[in-house]
Amino acid sequence: MANLRLSVTDRCNLRCAYCMPEEEYSWLPSDEILSFEEISALVDRFIALGVTKVRLTGGEPLVRRDLPVLVKLLAAKPLAELAMTTNGVLLATHARALKDAGLQRVTISLDTLRRDRFLRLTRRDQLPQVLEGIAAARQVGFEALKLDTVLTRGLNDDELEPLLDFAGSHDAEVRFIEYMDVGGATRWSMDQVISGKELLQRLTARFGVITPLPGRGSAPAERFRLPDGRTFGVIASTTQPFCSTCDRARLTADGRWFTCLYATGGTDLKAALRAGADAAGLEQLIRSVWEGRVDRGAERRLELREGRGPLVSAAELRREPHLEMHTRGG
């Protein structure tokens, strides 16, 4: 276990169609949300067990009040990487404070460069704020930005080239992500997925020979180079799952720990922490769950083939918000 995705809130200021298609949600109760001190204590246990990279996520991590305070606490820990995935809406406001607090890397989700489309996809008219956020991130010194784009057939798959151009002119690398059948993706269907394979065929037809880059390791993205030298990533979690090399743990804002994005059950670390478990007890709990894990969630979904549809219904998500993507952090 080397990577920890740390969801700091289940709340979000957008309503992306593939993640939060409803307007109202069952939220985690606020007294259940971990304090920064509790998060810090749990992160220490994960570090002791091998975690070297922490990524802040949500919901939208920047709607969590005083996030730079948490960043500062985490930045003091022996981590190889401290990063954040954000929708970018509030990034212009917080970029400087985050950088000063010690955040190292930022990934911004960006599915379209067209304002009318952004409104349709996220139900909020905030593309200008996102673009300002990207500019601010660069201004304060975040380098090698990543832009994550979920492709949906008929919605934004005609923007491959504009997104590559935009990334190229912003010192960023775009990563095209397959639409996944998980959490709030209650309207998912396979025919909406642009597979990594189809994407590469399209880009080859447009640009010519595409070269795979070595060194993927356990990273979800496979990277490629266009003949003109620009690079991009492909995250093909839906059609080419990478369960066997997955080293990710996911901790929700209320301390539920999941060893797989598709898992239905998790381990309640907050309960253990608030019951007074000491460091050794928490580490023993985490170690035993991790060593016993047999998750192959995405591979099992692939085996369904024609029978594949949304993982959970909207009614189930209302009953159990921990199943939501915006609770697990993606």
The contact set with ligand SF4 (CB under 6 A) reads 12, 14-16, 19-20, 58-60, 87, 109, 326
- What angle do the packed helices 91-101 and 127-139 form, to 10 degrees? 30
Contact residue for ligand SAM among 177, 249, 272, 282 (CB under 6 A): 177
Site pattern 184..223 for ligand SAM (x: CB under 6 A): -x--------------------------------------
Site pattern 111..150 for ligand SAM (x: CB under 6 A): -------------------------------------x-x
Nearer to ligand SF4, 184 or 196 (CB): 184
Using only C-alpha atoms, the chain has a radius of gyration, in whole angstroms, of 19
Instruction: Decide which of ligand SAM, ligand SF4, none touches 179; Cβ closer than 5 to 8 Å per partner kind.
Output: ligand SAM
Q: Are 94 and 71 in contact (CB under 8 A)?
A: no
Listing DSSP states for 225-243 in one string gives E-TTS-EEEEE-TTTS--G
Instruction: Decide which of ligand SAM, ligand SF4, none touches 101; Cβ closer than 5 to 8 Å per partner kind.
Output: none
CA 9 to CA 87: how far, in whole Å? 13
Give yes or no for residue 330 binding ligand SAM (CB under 6 A). yes
CA 137 to CA 145: how far, in whole Å? 8
User: In angstroms, what is the minimal distance from the CB of 230 to ligand SF4?
Assistant: 25
CA 313 to CA 120: how far, in whole Å? 22
Stretch in the footprint of ligand SAM (CB under 6 A) among 11-19, 26-34, 214-222, 224-232: 11-19
CA contacts within 13 A on the Cβ side of 275: 9
Beta strand extents in the chain (DSSP E only): 3-7, 53-57, 81-86, 105-109, 145-151, 172-178, 211-212, 222-225, 231-235, 248-251, 256-258, 267-268
For 205-214, the CB contacts below 8 A with 24+ separation are: 206/160, 206/161
DSSP state of 147: E
User: In angstroms, what is the minimal distance from the CB of 125 to ligand SAM?
Assistant: 17
C-alpha dist (Å) from residue 253 to 39, 86, 197: 9, 15, 35
CA 33 to CA 214: how far, in whole Å? 40
Nearer to ligand SF4, 58 or 196 (CB): 58
Instruction: Decide which of ligand SF4, ligand SAM, none touches 262; Cβ closer than 5 to 8 Å per partner kind.
Output: none
Instruction: Decide which of ligand SAM, ligand SF4, none touches 20; Cβ closer than 5 to 8 Å per partner kind.
Output: ligand SF4
- Total interface residues for ligand SAM by CB under 6 A: 21
Nearer to ligand SF4, 145 or 203 (CB): 145
Contact residue for ligand SAM among 3, 87, 122, 186 (CB under 6 A): 87
Nearer to ligand SF4, 177 or 285 (CB): 177
Listing DSSP states for 77-116 in one string gives S--SEEEEEE-STTHHHHHHHHHHHT--EEEEE---S-HH
Give yes or no for residue 241 binding ligand SAM (CB under 6 A). no
Residues making contact with ligand SAM (CB under 6 A) = 12, 18-19, 57-58, 60, 85-87, 109, 148, 150, 177, 179-180, 182, 185, 325-326, 329-330
